[in-house]
């Protein structure tokens, strides 16, 4: 058989097999079978040694032409298969942009944050400025300047987290009264919200970490009537018309006179119910006229200036506002509870 016939046979073989080829693997296999090291056409090349020197150039040329033609033929098919596979992949990966998707899970503001924002709005609306202070506080500000001397029961290690002899976790937001008076001149009208710490056991109404909002007003001729009016306005803004305050005499070392303040029970509007234990009132804050001793220690002339201060327990407000029966719910981070405040 001469070279031309052998080559024609290989062309025939490729034509036949290509008719069956339907994948890249099958095509690669055919390529190896014909053009590979042990392939049919390569075998012809090897066999050239048996030809006479005169026949070799022409045979070589025929084989090379065949190699080029076959390579082109296989490449063309390869391109077709690739294009088809790509099309298939694109079809299978198509995204239906009109299909409805599940709504992403959105968070919500914590009830304490909601309550804080409302309380802050009430006071900023009356011209108060919001300031913040350190939670790790010097004994000097937390106690000393607030007229809570050494050996005062409020310093008892049972209540106070001591870091060392001079540093505590603040037990109230009141140290910001001292810090503010020392750094500003009257008129002063600030509120200071924040976290406070006391070594309390956790139960339905206690937590070692809770929140307060301190208020301080210092100016000439500030009286207890201003304090009462401010807190009445606050009560009404927060809870609506008909909610007012009741002052009961009390004692705080940094105010004189001092009072505990109750608000009309929001649940029964003063009639008496389980929430207010039948009294019609709920205790929410402590307050008083800033003790002249404190004014003087903080560099304010007590013969010219007077002022009032108050400290609101934020948890109380939030629990009442949102009818939360147990303080622990506020700290557990349970999504089933928190998602109700969306």
Any contact of residue 310 with ligand DAH (CB under 6 A)? yes
Any contact of residue 147 with ligand DAH (CB under 6 A)? no
Considering only residues 294, 297, 309, 318, which one is a binding residue for ligand DAH as defined by CB under 6 A?
309
Residue whose entry in the numeric block shows the structure tokens 């003063």: 270
Residue among 3 and 142 whose Cβ is closer to ligand DAH: 142
Residue among 193 and 286 whose Cβ is closer to ligand DAH: 286
**Interacting positions 252-271 with ligand DAH (CB under 6 A):** 252, 255
Preceding peptide of 187 cis, ω within 30°: yes
167-169 and 245-252 as β-strands: parallel, antiparallel, unpaired? unpaired
**Interacting positions 152-181 with ligand DAH (CB under 6 A):** 172, 174
255-264 and 245-252 as β-strands: parallel, antiparallel, unpaired? antiparallel
Give the Cα separation of 187 and 216 in Å (integer).
Answer: 10
- Closest separation between CB of residue 274 and ligand DAH, Å? 25
- Closest separation between CB of residue 160 and ligand DAH, Å? 12
The answer for residues whose C-beta is within 8 angstroms of residue 67's C-beta and 6 or more apart is 35, 41
53-61, 120-128, 282-290, 295-303 -> range binding ligand DAH (CB under 6 A): 282-290
Q: Is 225 exposed, middle or buried (0-12, 13-18, 19+ CB in 10 A)?
A: exposed
Residue among 67 and 172 whose Cβ is closer to ligand DAH: 172
Q: Is 63 exposed, middle or buried (0-12, 13-18, 19+ CB in 10 A)?
A: buried
**Residue-wise DSSP of 235-269:** HHHHH-TT--EEEEEEEETTEEEEEEEEEE-TTTT
- Closest separation between CB of residue 309 and ligand DAH, Å? 3
Any contact of residue 77 with ligand DAH (CB under 6 A)? no
Residue among 112 and 214 whose Cβ is closer to ligand DAH: 214
Give the Cα separation of 154 and 158 in Å (integer).
Answer: 9
Any contact of residue 287 with ligand DAH (CB under 6 A)? yes
Largest CA distance in the chain: 130
Any contact of residue 288 with ligand DAH (CB under 6 A)? yes
- Closest separation between CB of residue 98 and ligand DAH, Å? 59
* x-marked contacts with ligand DAH along 187-216 as a string, rule CB under 6 A: ---------------------------x--
Is residue 212 within 8 A of residue 232, CB to CB? The reply is no
Any contact of residue 34 with ligand DAH (CB under 6 A)? no
- Chain positions contacting ligand DAH, by CB under 6 A: 172, 174, 214, 252, 255, 286-288, 309-311
């Amino acid at each position: 058989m001469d070279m031309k016939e052998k080559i024609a046979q290989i062309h025939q073989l490729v034509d036949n097999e290509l008719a069956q080829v339907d994948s890249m693997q099958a095509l690669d296999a055919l390529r190896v079978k014909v053009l590979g090291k042990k392939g049919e056409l390569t075998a012809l090349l090897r066999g050239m040694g048996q030809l006479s020197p005169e026949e070799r150039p022409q045979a070589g040329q025929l084989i090379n032409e065949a190699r080029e033609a076959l390579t082109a033929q296989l490449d063309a098919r390869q391109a077709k298969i690739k294009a088809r596979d790509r099309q298939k992949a694109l079809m299978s990966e198509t995204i239906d942009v009109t299909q409805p998707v599940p709504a992403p899970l959105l968070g919500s503001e914590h009830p304490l944050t909601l309550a804080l924002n409302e309380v802050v709005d009430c006071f900023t609306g009356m011209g108060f400025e919001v300031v913040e202070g350190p939670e790790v506080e010097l004994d000097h500000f937390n106690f000393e300047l607030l007229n809570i001397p050494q050996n005062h029961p409020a310093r008892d290690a049972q209540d106070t987290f001591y870091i060392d002899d001079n540093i505590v976790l603040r037990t109230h937001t009141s140290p910001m009264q001292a810090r503010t008076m020392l750094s500003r001149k009257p008129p002063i009208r600030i509120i200071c919200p924040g976290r406070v710490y006391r070594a309390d056991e956790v139960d339905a109404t206690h937590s070692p970490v809770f929140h307060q909002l301190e208020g301080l007003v210092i100016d000439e001729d500030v009286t207890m009537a201003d304090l009462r009016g401010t807190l009445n306005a606050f009560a009404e803004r927060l809870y609506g018309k008909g909610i007012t305050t009741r002052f009961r005499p009390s004692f705080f070392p940094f105010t004189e006179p001092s009072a505990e303040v109750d608000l009309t029970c929001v649940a029964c509007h003063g009639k008496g119910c389980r929430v207010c234990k039948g009294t019609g009132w709920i205790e929410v804050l402590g307050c008083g006229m800033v003790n002249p001793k404190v004014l003087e220690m903080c560099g304010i002339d007590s013969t010219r200036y007077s002022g009032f201060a108050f400290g609101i327990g934020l948890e109380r407000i939030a629990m009442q506002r949102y009818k939360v029966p147990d303080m622990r719910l506020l700290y557990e981070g349970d999504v089933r509870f928190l998602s109700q405040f969306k």
